[in-house]
A and B are shown apart, each in its own frame.
Chain A
Amino acid sequence: MSQLATENTSNGRTILVCCGTGCQASGSLEVLASLRGLLAGEAGTAVRASTKSTGCNGLCEKGPLVKILPDDITYCQVAAEDVPDIVDGLRDGTPVQRLLYRDPVTRQRYRSHRETSFYKKQHKIALRNIGEIDPGDIRDYLDRGGYRALRTALSMTPAQVIGEVLASGLRGRGGGGFPTGRKWQSCAAADNAPRYVICNGDEGDPGAFMDRSIMEGDPHTVLEGMIICAHAVGASSGFIYVRDEYDLAVVNLHQAIRDARAAGFLGDRILGSDLSFDIEIVRGGGAFVCGEETALIASIEGHPGEPRDKYVFPAVKGLWGRPTVINNVETWANVPVIIDGGAAGFAEIGTAGSKGTKVFSLVGKVVSTGLVEVPMGATLREIVFDIGGGVPRGRSFKAVQTGGPSGGCIPGSLLDLAVDFDSLAAAGSMMGSGGLIVMDDRTCMVEVARYYVNFLAGESCGKCTPCREGISLLLETLTGITGGRGSIADLDLLESLSATVRAASLCALGRTAPNPVLSTLKYFRDEYLAHICDHRCPAGVCRELTEFYIDAGLCTGCGLCRRKCPAEAVSGEKKQPHAIDAARCIRCGECINNCRFQAVRIR
């Protein structure tokens, strides 16, 4: 089988077109079609290249991305019109300069993405194959050592496999950070059968998309991790619970399962061993709380996804009351690497309490947005500034939000924090699934807290009162403050409500819901006070408390804000200072975001 794959690529070049969700939105399918069309003709015989569609490369912002091997050329923001030039470049061996990656800070162009500051500092384990393989072709996965770990695991006893995972120090990447090996151990020890293995692909944290990227771009690694676990704990069936919104992930996982069955990695007596195991896909119904493991289990059983109290862990009593291992997508992607390369190598990476790497989705007000995988213990500064290139448009960094809606905001003073499970918790936030949302001076921290609490109020399943009523009241209070109706007493109310919700809620959704409020109150209290006492939103976000004006001394009359304004609220003659009509202004901020002279101000 691997021979076939070699045949496919050995006699020429391979052109990899990124077809992750981000690149598809920017038109990568058109690029691929255009490439295939051109290569089918006379040009094809001259350059002898085959094409592949790959999963997400992480640098979605610069998409569509096209990589050429073995030349190791990476092109960014490729349009279908660029395809003839790319093919011509292959003919005479000179890369198309204008399409090469340009460093946003130094403006230098790079031939290969590997040389760029965005990729150079990354350490890829979970994302090792993504962007390098066609996720729809099992041969690509096999060529990169895929399913080798499964063979190794099958030659070990279940206890040895669990021992290896324990020794690696792998902790759950979905947010909880629970040691994976211990989960497996309790499941294997539970005297009850059948046992189940579940992959939690209900990636609900807004702002995080590493699981989508792995399921889309390297589905077999998830399957392999689950099959290894099935051997270790003695499970007979597995489920992948994936968000229905992730169309492409669902398609690619189905394909991968079919191919794995055909190749003998799933089904009866896998690779001639005693292990019989199969996996089916369950599509989620769009409820955030289903990311909580007991709610997810309820959902697979065909119930509304309401959590239960975990007096007994799912590892002992999970799906249909049976022992169940449930791990997150990224956790599964690490398992084959641990078994294949050994626990010791894995445990060398990272910090004392958190081993290996973590994938972050670096988004928000940062120059290079996308997925980054770094060793545990990398500092926020390295991630945001060295890899991400800092805050765009010369604005100033304010905070970075980690851990999803129930995480917290970390201020600039803690930029040198070495990121791992424990350090983030100590700073009042959490690792969560790895969303890293950068905020600049145009982000209002009160509004951010309101946003998260609004999200959680909508997603609270309503089963327990502290979460259902407490979060609603937090939301009402925060909405009052952002609407200019806040009072000083509200701050005490927020704190005491938060304490109650945290102490009395049934599941992690409620228990962590006050985090965004408490962390912003802790680090950005002055913004709350500005809203309440001065009736102004310093970031110019809260509409009721914002008025934009143009500083005539700074305005050059370039007219950019006038053209960008969707409400026709800006007027002025060319090269004369412009003015904003406050009555027409819808406070969308297009003017201030686009002004290159800092002439648009917030009153």
Chain B
Amino acid sequence: MAIEPQQAAAQRPMEQIVRRYPPEQRYLLAIMQDLQKEFNYLPREALGLTAAHVRVPLGKVYSMATFYKAFSLTPRGRVSLRACDGTACHIKRSQVIIDELRKCLGIQPGETTADGEFSLETVNCLGACAIAPVLVANHKVHAKVTAAAVREIIKSYGGRVDEPVGN
């Protein structure tokens, strides 16, 4: 994989994040979480730096990156939409919310729109069950969401939505 210019430029902050922690395997998860937060995904470069820092094979870091749900190996969108599909949300029909998001954005959960604007994920429970169903846009929690509210939320982040909902 070729190193793109922006990756080279990003290497400095990557190193800073990695070196904030002592070079021990127990900090692997924390380093990777900080990288994920900073870049919205785990760039290939960052995985290599992390492996070298804590002195484990790259494969080990990769196994962590693919095991834990918090990590993504591809860039996530500018606006992260996380639809809760925990039990309380589910029985209050979160599937309708998720279907609406899929239709409006034209992507499946786990994907990012081609313009890099929106990424869609489903999460298992945000612990906000009393106000189900819940949708989190970047860090804002939206309570008691309906299909109509989904369209408004997407629009409020600059997305385009065709009316009305169809099959």
Contacts and interface: CB of A to CB of B under 8 A. Distances in A.
A435 B87 contact: yes
B96 interface: yes
Contacts of B131: 22, 25-26, 60-61, 63
A588 interface: yes
A60 B144 CA distance: 12
Interface string B131-143: 1101000010111
Interface in A335-361: 361
B87 A437 contact: yes
A509 B90 CA distance: 21
B12 interface: no
Interface in B33-79: 33, 54, 63-64, 67-71
Given A25-B141, A567-B164, A567-B165, A208 B130 contact: no
B131 to A, nearest CB: 5
Interface string A200-219: 00011111110011000000
Interface in B89-132: 89-93, 96, 99-100, 123-132
Contacts of B148: 566
Given A25-B142, A584-B167, A361 B96 contact: no
A236 to B, nearest CB: 16
Interface stretch (A166-174, A180-188, A240-248): A240-248
A397 interface: no
B88 A363 contact: yes
A455 interface: yes
Given A60-B128, A286-B68, A287-B68, A302 B86 contact: no
B28 interface: yes
A63 B166 CA distance: 34
B29 A204 contact: no
A455 B124 contact: yes
A304 B128 contact: no
A363 B88 CA distance: 6
Given A203-B127, A287-B67, A451-B90, A282 B30 contact: yes
The residue among A60, A287, A589 with the most chain B CB atoms within 10 A of its own CB is A60
A191 B146 CA distance: 57
A195 interface: no
A566 B151 CA distance: 10
B143 A304 contact: no
B47 to A, nearest CB: 14
Contacts of A584: 166-167
A400 to B, nearest CB: 11
Contact of A566 (B127, B142, B147): B147
B141 A207 contact: no
Given A206-B124, A364-B92, A302 B129 contact: no
A294 interface: no
B143 A25 contact: yes
Contacts of A284: 70
Given A244-B70, A370-B130, A24 B88 contact: no
A51 B164 CA distance: 45
B91 A588 contact: no
A286 B26 CA distance: 17
A204 B124 contact: yes
Contacts of B146: 566, 590
Interface residues of B, number: 51
A443 interface: yes
A586 B167 contact: yes
Contacts of B93: 588-589
Interface in A386-441: 401, 405, 435, 437, 439
B39 to A, nearest CB: 16
A321 B130 CA distance: 40
B80 interface: no
Nearest to B34: A283
Nearest to A287: B68
Contacts of B63: 304
Nearest to A62: B130
A41 to B, nearest CB: 29
A345 to B, nearest CB: 31
A538 interface: no
A282 B24 CA distance: 14
Given A209-B127, A364-B88, A283 B30 contact: yes
Contacts of A299: 29
A305 B26 CA distance: 12
Listed from nearest, the 9 A-B pairs whose CB atoms lie closest are: A285-B68, A206-B86, A60-B130, A209-B127, A207-B87, A286-B69, A206-B125, A25-B141, A304-B67
Interface of B: 24-30, 32-33, 54, 63-64, 67-71, 85-93, 96, 99-100, 123-132, 134, 139, 141-143, 146-148, 164-167
Interface of A: 21-22, 24-26, 59-61, 63, 203-209, 212-213, 244-247, 282-288, 299-305, 361, 363-365, 369-370, 401, 405, 435, 437, 439, 443, 448, 451-452, 455, 459, 461, 566-568, 584, 586, 588-590
Given A22-B128, A204-B125, A567-B165, 11 more contacts: A244-B33, A246-B127, A247-B139, A287-B67, A302-B24, A401-B87, A405-B87, A435-B87, A566-B148, A567-B166, A568-B164
19 contacts: A22-B128, A25-B142, A26-B131, A26-B143, A204-B125, A207-B87, A244-B33, A244-B70, A285-B33, A302-B26, A303-B64, A363-B88, A364-B88, A364-B91, A369-B88, A369-B129, A566-B165, A567-B165, A567-B167
